[in-house]
Amino acid sequence: MNTNAAKETSVKIIKAGKKLHEKGLIIGKSGNISVRIPGTETFLIKSSGSSMESLKPTQLVLVNFLGNKIRGDSRVSIETPMHSAIYRVRKDVQAIVHTHPPTATAFGIAKTEIRPLQIEHFMLLPNGVPVVPYQQPGSRELAVAVQKKIAICDAIVLENHGIVTVGSTLEAACNLNLIVEEAAKIQLLVKILDSKKTINLARAKEKFKIQNTLE
């Protein structure tokens, strides 16, 4: 493995963790972040019990796509099976970000899909942000459920457990996290302003004239 690539990836993860904390998407030791080591079937992931606000290189663990720890002194994250499952099904994904933004998380608790009602959001989330029914964190069941949804969506809401976004870069995955939270806020405000309004993704597709990739 390219040692320099691993060091560069570590620096990116640490910077991203601080940004996610500053934006209010995570608090304390919640959430997780992982990045594929370029040209390999391994990834660095935040270790169990560490805080993204103050991550150190020693708190990142190298794991393969089967979820087995390759290197690192810290305990591997409980969410490693979910991350490895995503990398196996999405060869294009280079980074995964799991956070607990308040509004989007509330949508998950309410079992309500987040629908991108603003055209800029729709361009990035044409299939919306579906809800994955609750499964125990760290379980194989959760990994399988997430893998099925993430195969066709770049963002999902975990019932009672925050959101997950993926991207071709770490920056893209982080930005999509912010967009999902903003889309959730807009959807909530629309519902408050007009409680009778039907918030329909199919209608948005027709308005924006973008073919649904699920069809």
Residues 6+ apart with CB under 8 A from 120: none
**pTM exceeds 0.85 for this model:** yes
What value does the mean pLDDT take over residues 162-171?
97
Domain 3-208, what architecture? Answer: 3-Layer(aba) Sandwich (3.40)
Average pLDDT, whole number, for the chain?
Answer: 92
What value does the mean pLDDT take over residues 186-213?
79
Band of pLDDT at residue 144, cut at 50, 70 and 90: very high
Q: What strands, in cross-sheet order, belong to the sheet with 32-36?
A: 69-71, 60-64, 42-46, 32-36, 95-99, 163-167, 155-158, 131-132
pLDDT, residue 1, reads 55
pLDDT, residue 211, reads 53
What value does the mean pLDDT take over residues 166-176?
97
Give the tens place of pLDDT for each residue, 93-115. Answer: 999 999 999 999 999 999 999 99
Residue 187 pLDDT > 50: yes
Give the tens place of pLDDT for each residue, 25-65. Answer: 999 888 999 999 998 999 999 999 999 899 999 999 999 99
pLDDT, residue 36, reads 96
Q: Structural domain boundaries of the chain?
A: 3-208
